[in-house]
A and B are shown apart, each in its own frame.
Chain A
Amino acid sequence: MSEQNIYLPYLMTIDKITNEAPGVKTFKLKFQNEEEANAFNFKAGQFGEYSAFGEGESTFCIASAPTRKGYIECTFRETGKVTSGLADLEEGSTMGFRGPFGNTFPMDEWKGKSLVFIAGGIALPPMRCVIQNALDLRENFKDITIVYGAKSVNDLVYKDELKEWADRPDVNLVTTVDPGGETPDWKGEIGFVPSIVDKTAPSPENTIAIVCGPPIMIKFTFPVLEKLGFKDNQIYTTLENRMKCGVGKCGRCNVGKLYVCKDGPVFSKEQLNNIPAEEY
């Protein structure tokens, strides 16, 4: 009975390291085992448990799109034991990956709709996979708007990608920095993300809004969307709770009776209304 050990990670080689912002890195990872590489499949929204051998595991979303084969990407900020261990690794070293776990953004349901992506700071990574996915299937969606903000110009991640998105005529990209975070040559908006969303005023007509960011940003963005006419079933977000196993067993990511690793991390606002807000 050669059952797979769900706690055993895939061995990955770090193909490329990009320094996105102070303390924030993106790793491009390739499977060391070709069979595993070919068999691997995931959907936008899913996450993985990334191992630094010798330190432990950390939970990040898969930041690249499932439409782009042969590699996966993750973006993380160096904050603790494991992320520091990961940040010490060089291109060519081995790390681990377990996944894909969790549910997905229901992109099939969104065909034909307009999409509004709202993200703050280090929360752009979970969105990036679904943005890339949407752009790779651009004909499936009507208008695509991206509102992305960070504390300062330096803290914006995926700077190259942002340029790409800004240059596309079929994407409306609005970038902003917090007041005081601008540089003299900054041409984007200045203001907190919720107020810039208000200013951009995307239409709720046949539109889905996907919001990712620190709890405080989400707290102030939801009322803006409500004001603009978005219903609860038109708003999606991802929750992040402390996780360990990623497969619904260790009990850590319980939010009410839901498990963020199984029932999430993608939740609609409608679903969130039914679970105790204090648990996440």
Chain B
Amino acid sequence: METKYISKNGLNEWFSQIVKSGKRVYAPVKEREQVEFKKVQALSEVADEYIQTTQSIKSAVFPRAEVLFSYEKESGKVNVEDFNPDTVKETVLWKIHPCDAAGFKPLTAIFNWDYKDKLYNAHLEKTTLVTFSCAKADKSCFCTSVNGGPGNTAGSDVQLTMLPDGGAIVEILTPKGEALVQLAASAFENDKEEDKSKYLADVPQMFDVEAIKAKLATAFDSPVWKEQSERCLGCGACAFVCPTCACFDIQEDAHGSKGKRIRCWDSCGFSLFTKHTSGHNPRAVQSQRWRQRILHKFSYMPDRLSVLGCTGCGRCSRACPVDMNILEHLTSIAKK
């Protein structure tokens, strides 16, 4: 772990070297009324003043639709073509937030729980995370309540903290980060001993996540789930923008003798998620599905995988058509 300083010019130099190296770079770009991650070639394309992107960057390692394998049927036999990890390109995720980097931890935990997901691991191996610490936050952010923070480095390969002079404090955290820095080693200068905490947003802690976990352990039959979920429309917006939601569906894209088995995003909030072929649906009403979302993220995942299923990024609350503000719901559970 090493700390350096990079000037504004150095940043430009480093960025152009990264692009020149052939790696794909995804960064937040202002698009219509929102900011979303897009492939960029120049630093000038990267968005400036914003709090959060609408979608997370989990699609870099867990695409919204992905081919698991393809096949062709030929006179009773089937020829299969497996996923080839060599087709995965080197990728840099630029200017993601600490809450985004933290989201990779639960994803990696799920995709490596006993069985190792070859596709996810192939993507992750070739991805370098460059986070920028947060100087601003809004009232939907609550990273500090879920063991995170505006300057948290968990999951980051490199973390930059922007300084008033246009340069940045650079924390090189992993060998991958070091390798990325080496692409423009001369652009980096010695640490100027700036105090990172001066440049971080103030995100007050709103609840104690351990206390919530304890409450949830006995809350299965609580009326709170119906109360909170009455307005929920049962769409998949919250699950899809979330950096840690990894529930998926497996579908077939078949035409004639050729086909592909596809993995695509799914949500426990959809009514059909748990429906049996017999027609029986264990989670037939929305309150049960809302309960699953909260319990899974804040109770089951910590229990089974020792990791929280939420990084406090606030995207679900912002994206929800009917303002299911998760911070508000959790605070209300904490008070019960």
Could you give, for residues 292-303 of chain B, a 1 whenever the CB lies within 8 Å of some chain A CB and a 0 otherwise? 100110011001
> Considering the chains assembled together, what is the distance between the CA atoms of A93 and B252 in angstroms?
19
Let me know if B254 and A54 touch, CB within 8 A. yes
Q: How near does chain A come to B85, taking the closest CB pair, in angstroms? A: 7
* Residue A39 CB within 8 A of the other chain: no
Which residues of B, 228-274, contact A by the 8 Å Cβ criterion?
246-252, 254, 259, 261, 263, 266, 268, 273-274
Mostly helix, strand, loop or mixed at chain A's interface?
A: loop
> Considering the chains assembled together, what is the distance between the CA atoms of A92 and B273 in angstroms?
34
Partner of B119, one of A5, A56, A57, A279: A5
Let me know if B300 and A257 touch, CB within 8 A. yes
Partner of A54, one of B73, B116, B299: B73
> Considering the chains assembled together, what is the distance between the CA atoms of A214 and B279 in angstroms?
12
* Closest chain A residue, CB of each to CB of B299: A257
Count class of interface residues, chain B: 35 or more
Let me know if B247 and A8 touch, CB within 8 A. no
Mostly helix, strand, loop or mixed at chain B's interface?
A: mixed
Partner of B247, one of A1, A56, A241, A250: A250
Let me know if A54 and B69 touch, CB within 8 A. no
Residues of B contacting A24 in the complex (Cβ-Cβ under 8 angstroms) = none
* Residue B82 CB within 8 A of the other chain: yes
Which residues of A, 42-56, contact B by the 8 Å Cβ criterion?
51, 53-56
| Partner-contacting stretch, out of B15-23, B91-99, B280-288 | B280-288
Could you give, for residues 1-39 of chain A, a 1 whenever the CB lies within 8 Å of some chain B CB and a 0 otherwise? 101111110010000000000000000000000000000
Residues of A contacting B277 in the complex (Cβ-Cβ under 8 angstroms) = 79-80, 242
Residues of B contacting A242 in the complex (Cβ-Cβ under 8 angstroms) = 273-277
Task: Give the number of A-B contacts (CB < 8 Å).
Answer: 121
A241 with B114, Cβ < 8 A, contacts A249-B248, A250-B247 known: no
Residues of B contacting A79 in the complex (Cβ-Cβ under 8 angstroms) = 277-278
Q: How near does chain A come to B75, taking the closest CB pair, in angstroms? A: 10
Residues of A contacting B300 in the complex (Cβ-Cβ under 8 angstroms) = 254, 256-257
Residues of B contacting A255 in the complex (Cβ-Cβ under 8 angstroms) = 282
* Residue A130 CB within 8 A of the other chain: no
Q: How near does chain A come to B61, taking the closest CB pair, in angstroms? A: 13
Could you give, for residues 104-127 of chain B, a 1 whenever the CB lies within 8 Å of some chain A CB and a 0 otherwise? 000000110111111101000000
Let me know if B252 and A54 touch, CB within 8 A. yes
* Closest chain B residue, CB of each to CB of A58: B277
Let me know if A54 and B250 touch, CB within 8 A. no
A3 with B247, Cβ < 8 A, contacts A53-B259, A80-B277, A278-B288 known: no
* Residue A252 CB within 8 A of the other chain: yes
Let me know if B111 and A249 touch, CB within 8 A. yes
Partner of A280, one of B114, B251, B282: B282
> Considering the chains assembled together, what is the distance between the CA atoms of A94 and B85 in angstroms?
26
* Closest chain B residue, CB of each to CB of A95: B78
Let me know if B220 and A8 touch, CB within 8 A. no
Q: How near does chain A come to B272, taking the closest CB pair, in angstroms? A: 9
Q: Which residues of B contact A (CB under 8 A)?
A: 68-69, 71, 73, 76-78, 80, 82-83, 85, 110-111, 113-119, 121, 220, 246-252, 254, 259, 261, 263, 266, 268, 273-278, 280, 282-283, 288, 292, 295-296, 299-300, 303-304
